Amino acid sequence: MADRHFDGRRRRTILGLGAALAGSPVLRAWAQDFPSRPISLVVPFPPGGGFDTIARPFSDRLGKLLGQTVIVDNRPGSGGNMGTDVVARAPADGYTLLFANDYLATNPSVNRNVRYDPLKDFVPVSMIGTTQVVMAVRPDFPAKNFEELVALSKQKSLSYGTPGAGTSPHLVGEYLSSISPLKSLHVPYKGTAPAVNDAMGGQIDMVYATSPSVATQIAAGKLRGIAVFGEQRSTQLPDVPTLKEIGGPPVNYEVWYCLLAPAAVPTPVLSTIRGATRKALDADLSARLARLGYAVKSSGPEEVVRVIQESLARWKDVVARANISIE
């Protein structure tokens, strides 16, 4: 425990020094040269997954606008915690950024080993975009709407797979169970791909995953989308109805993505990154990401803080009711 207290004092000292230096002429001159070398964009999940699908097109565009390469640095582990912790402890110089999504708000509620504070250890740059969670089944699955799902769940125990315990698809599933008569057993996987494979093979009844993670399989007829958890249908999956459309409750939740920097990044550097990010999220990138299942959502830093705060409160309540805990 003493080590954690020391760690906190040291971090506050560093942040205080950063704030004190923020207005110095030397720092202003240094910031004017930013960026003078490649920037690391930490993605705290494995390469090739849904995270990369949105992070890599964005990083390419951002790099062109900044005049430096923005390197996607995949740092997987502990449900996003390892890579996030790397950025929280990185030098506050703007050369290490975090591409995060709503795991930032779910992990503090389900994982006791989280060492970062999503609001205090980072400074927001911008929201980047959103996508939706989809409930999908194998093509011959007997239930086609919510009433049939509920009826089937009373005849046999249903199961649903997700990318892992504490992920947003898992928590969406727990929330659905808490407000509806549909009860099903959660089966956690280490990533979306194995959950999708088992759903196609019939080892589990349903898979809950983000739209970009299952769109290819649905288009190929290997999975059937039952419902989207959102107010509107996904632009990527226009034939898949919302849960409300098939008789279920209005479970409206979007998985969000945002860009963050370590706390105490100098204001001029932060302004440069924010300006380039706004330009990067233009009509061309919006159209490209829409085809991949994402809706671009540029914003100011206040919006990022609001979204994180609301998500922290929402999932804390769901986790407490479902008694979810990860060591």
Residue 160, Cβ density class (10 Å: 0-12 exposed, 13-18 middle, ≥19 buried): buried
What's the pTM value of the predicted model, to 2 decimals?
0.83
Given the candidates 3.10.450.50, 3.40.50.620, 3.40.50.1370, 3.40.190.10, the CATH classification of the domain at 132-246 is: 3.40.190.10
For helices 50-66 and 283-291, the axis angle rounded to 10 degrees is: 160
* Beta-carbon contacts of residue 135 (< 8 Å; ≥ 6 apart): 160, 206, 207, 208, 225, 226, 227, 228, 229, 243
Q: Is 68 helix (H, G, I), strand (E, B) or coil?
A: coil
More confident residue, 23 or 57: 57
Domain boundaries, the chain: 2-129+257-322, 132-246
Average pLDDT over residues 96-107: 93
Of 262, 273, 268, the C-alpha closest to 24 is 268
Task: Give me the pLDDT at residue 314, please.
Answer: 87
Poorest-confidence range of 27-41, 64-78, 131-145?
27-41
Six-digit token string for 316: 């804390």
Query: How much of the chain, in percent, has pLDDT values that exceed 90?
Result: 65
Give pLDDT, residue 29. 52
Architecture of the structural domain at 2-129+257-322? 3-Layer(aba) Sandwich (3.40)
